[in-house]
Amino acid sequence: MTPILQHLVEMTGHRDHLRLEASVLTTLLQLGRNMEVRALEFFFSDSQVMVRPRSWSHRGEVISSECEASVDPARGVLTNMPELTECLKEHCEVALRSSPNSHTLWLPVWIEDKAYACLEVTQNKPFTRRERDVIMGVFQVYQNYQNLLDYSERDALTGLLNRKTFEEHFARITTPSNSEFDQLDTGADTPQQWLAVIDIDHFKQVNDVYGHLYGDEVLILVANLLRSSFRAQDRVFRFGGEEFVVLLRSATLEHAAQAFERFRFTVQEHMFPQIGGITVSIGFTSTMDGAPVEVLGRADQALYYAKENGRNQVRYYDLMLSRGEVKSQITHGEIELF
């Protein structure tokens, strides 16, 4: 079996978006010695379409935002890539930019009529017809398989990850690497993983007064704000209805609280068409101790307290527990779960 076929077999063996993405980039890297590849994601921020790398090559290896050590790559405005901007506008399969020492192909990943991501291939010489044909062939296999995963793992309305993918992502970010075992006794200044449950305040009134069409638009716009407010390595889920969950990676308590407070303020200041202003309530906690259902339960307790005590606020479970505002739940170690 040729190396390219071996990589295609490996690529279609993955059941996870980021691993599939890293695998297709690795496959493309086999096509040329001086090639660089990236996977870009699109999102809205301040009414502009933004773009940022989610996975990329470095010295022949693929680095993913899944890696704990990676920093969030700088975001940019999509209009700085006019060829790609025009391609997305015209719903094209490929965009090309050529200069004397750099030639770039962009391959948008279309899901129905929307493109949430794009593969970028760059090399220092023009692409031959054969190279383009092989790249397009690999890409089409990837896109077909990506669409199958999206159908089962993405929320159809917002494009966010759905609830059934949560436990797998939770397990991945809470399993310490070898270099992290000596950091398990974490303090407030040590980066940790965090989980937040976010709920739109008075969402039922939005549906009752304006109708479900406007309610759906609110959910889509809140999802867009979530994408722009958090980093590529963080994970955002729609759990159903007006409830969202964020897994925030490698942040201190101070930075986590700031990130959730910043998102709350962003929603508060955003003007939603027809409806005007809405707010969200947020409860969050560390993922350091407990099974997914327990961590979710703690964040949910903090969220419930926020909604019962004024809404439009962020509450941290451990601080509330120390103040006696919530009571510790029974853990799975104290009862037998069925």
* Residues designated as active site: 242
The full 3-state SS of the chain, as one line of letters, equals: CCHHHHHHHHHCCCCCHHHHHHHHHHHHHCCCCCCEEEEEEEEEECCEEEEEEEEEEECCEEEECCCCCCCCCCCEEHHHCHHHHHHHHCCCCCEEEEECCEEEEEEEEEECCEEEEEEEEEECCCCCHHHHHHHHHHHHHHHHHHHHHHHHHECCCCCCEEHHHHHHHHHHHHCCCHHHHHHCCCCCCCCEEEEEEEEECCHHHHHHHHCHHHHHHHHHHHHHHHHHHCCCCCEEEEEECCEEEEEEEEECHHHHHHHHHHHHHHHHHCCECCCECCCEEEEEEECCCCCHHHHHHHHHHHHHHHHHCCCCCEEEHHHHHHHCCCCCCCCCCCCCCC
